[in-house]
Amino acid sequence: MYNDLPKSASVVQKYGGTSVGDPQRIRAVAARVARYKAAGWDRIAVVVSAMAGETNRLVGLMREVNPTGDHRTKAYDMAVSAGEQVSVGLMSEALEAHGVASEPLLAYQLQILTDEKHGQAKIHSIRTDFIENAWKNGRIPVVAGFQGITSAMEITTLGRGGSDTSAVALAAALKAGFCEINTDVDGVYTADPRYVRSAQLIEELDYETTLELAALGGKVLHSRCVELAAKHRVPLVVRNTFGPDEARRTRIMSFGEEKALEAPVVSGITLDEDVAKITVRQLPAGNAAIKSIFSEVAHKEINVDIIVHDHQDDGTVNRVGFTVQKHDLEPAVKAVESLRSQSQLEGLQVATQTNLAKVSAVGLGMRSHAGVALTIFDALAKNEVEILMISTSEIKVSCVVPLAQGKKAAQVLHGVFFESAK
Amino acid sequence: MYNDLPKSASVVQKYGGTSVGDPQRIRAVAARVARYKAAGWDRIAVVVSAMAGETNRLVGLMREVNPTGDHRTKAYDMAVSAGEQVSVGLMSEALEAHGVASEPLLAYQLQILTDEKHGQAKIHSIRTDFIENAWKNGRIPVVAGFQGITSAMEITTLGRGGSDTSAVALAAALKAGFCEINTDVDGVYTADPRYVRSAQLIEELDYETTLELAALGGKVLHSRCVELAAKHRVPLVVRNTFGPDEARRTRIMSFGEEKALEAPVVSGITLDEDVAKITVRQLPAGNAAIKSIFSEVAHKEINVDIIVHDHQDDGTVNRVGFTVQKHDLEPAVKAVESLRSQSQLEGLQVATQTNLAKVSAVGLGMRSHAGVALTIFDALAKNEVEILMISTSEIKVSCVVPLAQGKKAAQVLHGVFFESAK
């Protein structure tokens, strides 16, 4: 139960695809909502994803119908958004079955206005009067995640992590007490429990650290949703849908200066096993070539992660290395090679490497604790993990290592920061 | 190709669930639309059903989520209407794949306004400006069948035969040249070819005869869609989606007096094997009891078909027999038995019979040809078919017979009216 929350406050409860994966689970979620309403929290808004697997099924049908289409069209968004629509109808009906009056709502009703980028739209605004009216009439609003509409009333979808983003945007518009992300894990952990058995649930996190954890391969929350929550200062709660009401969970909020000072040096260790590296050699002197490379890659909408630039002392021969996700390797290489058509760059040499992983330590405390990077390099070296690239910021240290050593590297770092202290 | 139709005329093409049953079929339909557009008919509006089986799947999920719900709610309509939404997205994408620009449109966009009877809504009006705009921009509009919205913008569904009704209503609003119902049979036949092998395709039918054929068990068109077409004088064309362009089909229109005179005496034979009979005995004299029975049954929204009322000469004992669909038998019996609480009716006796079928001959020509009923009774008697009840009107004669003799009765009547003449 929400013991810290006044009953006058509003809450957004978001339920993901596995949480609404079959009729039985939908009924169990409805039972939970009914329990909270009966206890007096009646300003709850429910946001639902499509049933697990449904969006992929619809995307698959779309590809079969038009294998060569670009699939960022209004037709695509109309078909793909149907999964959330079904979940809304089912959840609303399940609430009725539990004696809770409800109001099923789609994007066109709430006026979840977005830009016109089909398949990856961004939310501009949400009207809250339908939600407030539902509450006034004693109803629980049930809202379709992942979808929006353009000003011309055409359906859009929000892309990856879309339903979480819908929930946070709605919570921001409602100035909700918090936005609860109900999922299939208990919260955010200090490392992935699948390969670090001693990983611990993190009870409190600040937005910044959460963002780095998400960006570095922590799969619980999508960066976009955390960014939006940070921007609007919406507290997030990540919990297991089918866990007990009082089970431990992760709360994500703004720490404030005082709390930030007390934050642990390192909050979590992440591992990203989807890393490929491109090394470009024989660059002419000066920064123009480097700029050409990254503007060409950015133009293809490829995200570059770590960049290592070894400037040679004599200034005549130059090289640059950078990492991308594996599926971006081929287009990135093509982008770089296309520069050879420029006479100055015709000598470019491009090499690639794919069996790589990136292990990172993230935490607000690094800002004030010197020597964290040294501890990391030292621990990895002692355990014979080969470090291929390094990237550091105020709150994270990332090392690219051979893929075969990735899990070991994560275990080593988790041991140093979370286990040796005990 | 539409050789009779000027290229300035508009056409509504409706494709049913089996016609859009998988991605390959959707592509084949899109290819047909593209062919007609290329030939110059560019004012085509496409209306689609949900993929075959999809609506049943969604209804099944709804029942699992709330087994005791009444399922005529906005939640139900939101979930169940998603099937057509997916078809619209897929068809629109398939048209693009065939190089045809398209405009996917849902009920809330076209403002297909209905009443608020969820699950069985009736259309009040449709805006046509989105369609006209699409044509103006060289696009083929693709419209979701089966769905509408209330004035409060809530999704409704139209109940059985809903997508056909959507198509006819749109054709009426557009004053279209005709409304094409693309389905999995070649058209309307003189009898069901599954048990009358010599059944023939009917090339031309008037609305009235079509209505009787539909109501009496012909499964190709739903009565509601034919009624709407008749009301707005929208010509219907029933054809096989995947038949050749020039294949024979059924055209349904207003005959006018002259053509009506030339209409065949009997246009078709139908068989309804879903017939149950209730006989009520020991009724007090006078019409009050009869009125009570049928008002009680109507109150339960049960459709009564044939009524046979044997008025006794002495006026003291009275009885009435009537037929209903089998699934309505139990509630109908309960409704009648509930009348026993009235002191005058406490002696009512109720008997039921279920193994029945109804064979009917339908045609405009009966109006002017005396003796058709006699021909029918004579033919059935000669072939030892037992006639249990009879009902006649200006354009049909129906006989209730034992279920085991139903198919034989249909074959006998088809023989008399369609085969002996040859």
Please check whether residue B106 touches A, CB under 8 A: yes
A306: in domain: yes
Our CA-based measurement puts residue B323 at a distance from the nearest CA of chain A, in whole angstroms, of: 35
Is B381 among the domain residues?
A: yes
Secondary structure of residue A66 in the 3-state scheme: coil
Looking at residue A287, its pLDDT comes to 78
Report the residue of chain A nearest B24, measured CA to CA.
A65
Q: How far is A24 from chain B (nearest CA, A)?
A: 7
Kindly list the residues from chain B whose CB atom is less than 8 angstroms away from the CB atom of residue A86.
58, 61, 79, 82
Nearest chain A Cα distance for residue B85, angstroms: 6
Q: Does A129 touch chain B (CB under 8 A)?
A: no
B275 and B175 belong to one structural domain: no
Closest residue, chain B, to A86 (C-alpha)? B79
Q: Is A86 on the interface with B (CB under 8 A)?
A: yes
Based on the fold, state whether residues B403 and B297 are members of the same structural domain: yes
B34-48 per-position pLDDT tens digit: 999 999 999 999 999
Does some domain include residue A151? yes
pLDDT digits (tens, 9 = 90+) for B45-73: 999 999 999 999 999 999 999 998 877 89
Tens digits of pLDDT across chain A (422 residues): 888 889 999 999 999 999 999 999 999 999 999 999 999 999 999 999 999 999 999 999 999 999 988 778 999 999 999 999 999 999 999 999 999 999 999 999 999 999 999 999 999 999 999 999 999 999 999 999 999 999 999 999 998 789 999 999 999 999 999 999 999 999 999 999 999 999 999 999 999 999 988 877 667 888 899 999 999 999 999 999 999 988 999 999 998 877 877 778 899 999 999 999 999 988 887 778 888 999 999 999 899 999 887 666 655 557 889 999 999 999 999 999 999 999 888 889 999 999 999 999 999 888 888 788 899 999 999 999 999 999 888 899 999 999 999 999 999 999 999 987 54
Cβ neighbours around A105 below 10 Å, total = 24
Count of CB atoms situated within 10 Å of the CB of A258: 7
Cβ within 8 Å, pair B88-A75: yes
Write the CATH number for B99.
3.40.1160.10
- The ipTM, to two decimals, is 0.85
Walk along chain B (422 residues) and give the pLDDT tens digit of each residue: 888 889 999 999 999 999 999 999 999 999 999 999 999 999 999 999 999 999 999 999 999 999 988 778 999 999 999 999 999 999 999 999 999 999 999 999 999 999 999 999 999 999 999 999 999 999 999 999 999 999 999 999 998 789 999 999 999 999 999 999 999 999 999 999 999 999 999 999 999 999 988 877 667 888 899 999 999 999 999 999 999 988 999 999 998 877 877 778 899 999 999 999 999 988 887 778 888 999 999 999 899 999 887 666 655 557 889 999 999 999 999 999 999 999 888 889 999 999 999 999 999 888 878 788 899 999 999 999 999 999 888 899 999 999 999 999 999 999 999 987 54
- Is B215 within a domain? no
Same domain, A176 and A274: no
- A58 and A155 in a single domain? The answer is yes
CA A171 – CA A194 distance, rounded (Å): 32
B180 and B288 part of one domain: no
**Considering the entire predicted model, what is its pTM?**
0.88
* CA-based nearest distance A325→chain B, Å: 29
> In Å, how far is A79's CA from the nearest CA of chain B?
4
Q: Of A143, A167, A184, which one is at a domain's C-terminal end?
A: A184
A93–B69 C-beta distance less than 8 A: yes
Closest residue of chain A to B87, computed from CA coordinates = A79
Interface test with B, best of A20, A27, A73, A93 (most B CBs within 10 A): A93
Any chain B CB within 8 A of the CB of A80? yes
Residues B147 and B24 in one domain: yes
Among chain A residues, the shortest Cα distance to B73 is held by: A93
Same domain, A296 and A173: no
Report pLDDT for A317. 55
The position carrying tokens 């068990």 is B217
CA distance B248 to chain A (A): 29
What's residue B255's pLDDT?
87
Concatenated DSSP letters of A353-419? EEEEEEEEEE-GGGGT-TTHHHHHHHHHHHTTPPP-EEEEETTEEEEEEEGGGHHHHHHHHHIIIII
Q: Based on the domain organization, do B296 and B180 belong to the same domain?
A: no
Kindly report the CATH number assigned to the domain that includes residue A319: 3.30.2130.10
Range of the domain at A177: 11-184
* Of A46, A10, A43, the residue nearest A26 (C-alpha): A46
On chain A, the residues whose CB falls within 8 A of the CB of B97 are 65-69
CB pairs under 8 A between A and B: 129
SS3 B243: coil
Whether B277 and B412 map to the same domain: the answer is yes
Confirm whether A231 is domain-assigned.
no
B97 touches chain A (CB under 8 A): yes
From B156, B184, B212, the end of a domain falls on: B184
Same domain, B20 and B131: yes
**Domain boundary residue, one of A184, A200, A215:** A184
A380/A420 Cα distance (integer angstroms):
15
What residues contact B12, with CB distance under 8 A and at least 6 apart? B44, B45, B46, B47, B167, B168, B170, B171, B174, B176, B178, B179, B180
| Contact with chain A for residue B108, Cβ under 8 A | yes
d(CA B44, CA B174): 11
Q: Which residues of B touch A108 (CB under 8 A)?
A: 108, 153
Question: Are A92 and B102 in contact (CB < 8 Å)?
Answer: no
pLDDT of the residue at B409: 97
Is B235 within a domain? no
Identify whether A375 is part of a domain. Answer: yes
- pLDDT value of position A422: 45
Minimal Cα distance from A80: which residue of B?
A: B86
Residue B385 CA to residue B158 CA, distance in Å, equals: 40
For residue A120, give the nearest of A162, A176, A87 by alpha carbon. A162
- Number of structural domains in chain B: 2
Q: Does A28 touch chain B (CB under 8 A)?
A: no
B88/A79 Cβ within 8 A: yes
Residue A46: its chain B contacts at CB < 8 A?
A: none
A214 lies in some domain: no
Model pLDDT, residue B351: 94
- Is there a single domain that holds both residue A167 and residue A306? no
Q: Is B275 in the same domain as B409?
A: yes
**Cβ-based contacts of B80 with chain A (< 8 Å):** 89
B316 touches chain A (CB under 8 A): no
Identify which of A82, A90, A153 has the shortest CB distance to residue B85. A82
The answer to whether A143 and A157 are in contact (CB under 8 A) is no
Instruction: Please give the backbone phi and psi of residue A369, each rounded to the nearest 5 degrees, phi first.
Output: -110, 105
According to the model, what pLDDT value does residue B422 have? 45
